[in-house]
Amino acid sequence: MKTENNLTRNEIIKRTVPFCLALAVIILDQLTKWIVVKYIPAYTLVPELCFGGDLIRIIHVRNLGVAFSMGGTWPLVVRKVIFSVIPLIVIAYIIYFSIRNNEFTKLQRWCIAAIVGGGIGNLIDRIFRPNGVVDFVDVKFFGIFGLERWPTFNFADAMIVVFGIILIITFIMMISDSEKKGKK
């Protein structure tokens, strides 16, 4: 049976399977945050959980904003709309678009699913944790870009960045392949 975009039921199922990765990311993200909240008091560095000297540290912090704490001091209503409602709409659209799009590769679909999972993981915090998103990984950055330490992040953030980079690389490769075919 075909749908409105001529996708069979099997094609839709194949395109939604990668979202099991999104679910895994959400579960692992919330589990790591639960462990941090339960066992590490807020704004506490745990010396026993430092790796490579002070290369990687575990510290429980809260972020009321988004990336790099941007918007953390904005009024609560503004933060709720901009950091919760709008991302929820964007995530829903990304899921819909990724299922309907015929151009994405299997790898790109898995990347999108991981990014969606990370987005939902942080969205859960923004909606249900009044003290902000739980961040806990603190990495030395050796003065690069004037930063001695990279802003503290969590598992969801890591998934968004890592799979976002992979997704961008796949798009660049597709464009490059397309240009090579066009020159022949």
Tell me what percent of the residues of the chain surpass a pLDDT of 90.
Answer: 61
* Domain-located, residue 32: yes
Measured in residues, the chain has a length of: 184
Ranking 43-52, 109-118, 149-158, 175-184 by mean pLDDT, the lowest is: 175-184
176 domain residue, yes or no: yes
Task: Output the pTM of the full model.
Answer: 0.86
The answer to whether residue 3 is domain-embedded is no
* Structural contact between residues 153 and 135, judged by C-beta atoms closer than 8 angstroms: yes
**Domain assignment of residue 1, yes or no:** no
* CA nearest to 28, candidates 151, 121, 153: 121
Domain range for 105 is 9-183
Q: What total number of domains does the chain contain?
A: 1
Residue 134 has pLDDT above 70, yes or no: yes
Dihedral (CA of 138, 141, 143, 146) sign: negative
**pLDDT value of residue 32:** 98
Beta strand 133-139 pairing with 56-63: antiparallel
What pLDDT is attached to residue 3? Answer: 43
Q: Is 135 a catalytic residue?
A: yes
Which one of 29, 125, 138, 157 is the catalytic residue? 157
Say which of 29, 125, 135, 138 is annotated catalytic: 135
CA distances from 137 to 33, 46, 113, 160, 175 (A): 11, 11, 22, 15, 35
Is the pLDDT reported for residue 115 higher than 90?
A: yes
Residue 125 bears catalytic tag? no
Q: Would 164 be classed as within a structural domain?
A: yes
Extract the tokens encoding 109.
């679909």
